[in-house]
Amino acid sequence: MADTSGMADIRGIDIDKLAKGFADEANVFKKFVANSKTKAREIRWYQKTSGFLDTADTTGVTGSHIGPGMAFRSKPFVVEQSWTRVTSYVKKFFVESPTISIEDIKDSDVDVLATNVRDLVRAVARKVDLRIYSILTNAAAATPTQPLTGTTTVQTTAAVADGWNDAVTGDPITDILNGKQLIRAQGYDPEGSMLGMNSAEHKHLLTYLINVKGSSIPQFSSEKVKSGVVMEILGCNVLVSENFTTDWVIQWVPTRAATWKSFMPITSVVVDDPGIGKKIRVWEEGECLLTDPKAVHVISDTIV
Amino acid sequence: MANEATLMIELEVPIPMTCADATGIEKGTVLKLSDPYTVAAATADNDVFAGIAGEEKIADDGKTTIAVYLRGVFKLIITAGNTTTVGQDVVIKGTNTVGGYTTLDDEKGYVVGKALETGAAGESVLVLVGA
């Protein structure tokens, strides 16, 4: 049927070609661990057994033979360091698009090729970021977003009482100080350490500082009411990201606790199939080594 | 479209196969084969499997072929009342859905591919299409 005024088929439409729907969450972890290269897929590294060396105890003698009771004109006791050999293997993070036809690339409203290149690169970078988070928090391979589900080698303390969202018994200040103290007790300098948390924990931390403790620290709280963010607290740099799983807050000594060993940096190529289409392929290879597990502290149960 | 097949690993590019110009076919549709060299959306048990639609066919756009994946690893949905067993063949059981093969399905060319996962009704499983 032919159309006249008042009929839908002859109306124009406006097409907004900029795709929307999701905000981009930044990938954060690689910046806060040490970064170095590996020239092979198998990485052998060594962990020292102890910090300060001392003489071995016997059942009867538990005091040190190094001193201060050491005799003059005598031979000393023998002490030596020992190491644990650790082997890590490079992981590959790899994805490709389907073959995107040259026709789709040419006439689609949205930029199919560029959007896929960008988002596939981000997909790989996200999985690398998650791998670093998993290693840093002792998460099991099957539950990479759940800290402490693997063999626990990092330090961990449950949140005081009922968690940060409990206005009566929650005490994030004590929780953070506990972590700092435990990291310091292992010989690491906790000043300037990272304090990583989900936006949920950040909200509860702000609530605690303003609503619960506002009268005790009025100047600090007033400033937080204005700025709405905590960038630094108790000497720790606060890092807020949705890449942190809520219910856990992670403290670590940056560029010391873990190392990302890069075998191949993130790489993207467009594979051309002339006359048919293009395929995007993205990969990155490397592995995160938790070299200093005691430089990490996980506060668990931060949400009731 | 419900239950469309999702490409998981692309083993080869699609090939053109004959289809009716007048009928639209969505990308990811499980296709049945008819003589000669013609595909259409599969709808029922015992449809002869052809492949998976690799592009959308717009009704009446003048084209009489559609890009069809003959091989690849796809995520497919198991029909109500059916299951798949890992390693065994799967066949078409309904629109875009599959289930375990029954006796003589092999000989009649019904087989979609090999189940790479064991699954229950309504679940999605990986299938090596064209195996």
CATH label of the domain that carries residue A211: 3.90.1690.10
Q: Is A258 exposed, middle or buried (0-12, 13-18, 19+ CB in 10 A)?
A: buried
Selection from A2-11, A96-105, A205-214 with the highest mean pLDDT: A96-105
Residue range A149-174, pLDDT digits in tens = 999 999 999 998 778 988 888 899 99
* Residue A276 in contact with partner chain B when CB distance is under 8 A: yes
Strand partners, A92: A285
In a domain, A66, yes or no: no
Q: Is B76 exposed, middle or buried (0-12, 13-18, 19+ CB in 10 A)?
A: buried
Tokens of A140: 């099991």
In this predicted structure, what is the pLDDT of residue A212?
82
- The count of structural domains within chain B is 2
Helices (H) and strands (E) in chain A, counts: 5, 13
Query: Taking CB atoms and an 8 Å limit, are B10 and A101 in contact across chains?
Result: no
| Residue that the structure tokens 């990291």 belong to | A183
In this predicted structure, what is the pLDDT of residue A132?
95
In terms of domains, do B86 and B44 share one?
no
Residue range A258-280, pLDDT digits in tens = 999 999 999 999 999 999 999 99
In a domain, B6, yes or no: no
pLDDT tier at A210, thresholds 50, 70, 90: confident
> Which contiguous run of DSSP H or E holds residue A202?
helix A199-207
Last residue of a domain, one of B69, B98, B113: B69
In a domain, B42, yes or no: yes
In terms of domains, do B25 and B64 share one?
yes
**Rounded Cα distance, A189 and A68, in Å:** 28
In a domain, A61, yes or no: no
Chain A residues with beta carbon closer than 8 angstroms to that of B7:
98
pLDDT tier at A134, thresholds 50, 70, 90: very high
In a domain, B43, yes or no: yes
**Average pLDDT in the A36-56 region?**
90
In terms of domains, do B108 and B60 share one?
no
**Average pLDDT in the A182-193 region?**
93
In terms of domains, do B50 and B93 share one?
no
Q: Which of B13, B54, B55 sits opposite A273 (nearest CB)?
A: B13
In a domain, B2, yes or no: no
**Average pLDDT in the B112-124 region?**
95
Domain interval for residue B104: 72-129
Q: Which amino acid is at A89?
A: Y
B positions 61-100 inside 8 Å of A (CB): 67
In this predicted structure, what is the pLDDT of residue A289?
95
Q: Which of A98, A101, A276 sits opposite B10 (nearest CB)?
A: A98
Residue A4 phi, psi dihedral angles, 5° rounding? -120, 180
In a domain, A54, yes or no: no
Query: Over 90: is that where the pLDDT of A70 sits?
Result: no
Domain interval for residue A296: 29-48+83-300
Query: Over 70: is that where the pLDDT of B104 sits?
Result: no
Q: Which residue has the higher pLDDT, B131 or A191?
A: A191
In this predicted structure, what is the pLDDT of residue A50?
75
Provide the greatest CA pair distance for chain A: 115
- With H, G, I as helix, E, B as strand and everything else as coil, classify residue A31: helix
Q: What's the mean pLDDT when you consider all of chain A? A: 90
- The count of structural domains within chain A is 1
Q: How many residues does chain B have?
A: 131
In this predicted structure, what is the pLDDT of residue B97?
94
- CA distances in angstroms from A48 to A13, A53, A180, A287, listed in the order given: 68, 11, 22, 20
In terms of domains, do B56 and B18 share one?
yes
Residue range A228-237, pLDDT digits in tens = 667 888 899 9
In a domain, B4, yes or no: no
Query: Taking CB atoms and an 8 Å limit, are A98 and B7 in contact across chains?
Result: yes
Q: Which residue has the higher pLDDT, A39 or A223?
A: A39
Supply the pTM of this predicted model. 0.82
Nearest CA in chain B to A278: B13
Sequence-separated (6 or more) residues with CB below 8 Å from residue B13: A99, A273, A276, A277, B54
In this predicted structure, what is the pLDDT of residue B107?
67
Chain B residues with beta carbon closer than 8 angstroms to that of A101:
55, 67
In this predicted structure, what is the pLDDT of residue A220?
75
Residue range B56-100, pLDDT digits in tens = 999 998 899 999 999 999 999 999 999 999 999 999 999 999 999
**How many CB atoms sit inside 10 A of residue A75's CB?**
6
**Rounded Cα distance, A297 and B11, in Å:** 45
- CA distances in angstroms from A223 to A65, A230, B101, listed in the order given: 55, 10, 69
Chain B residues with beta carbon closer than 8 angstroms to that of A112:
none
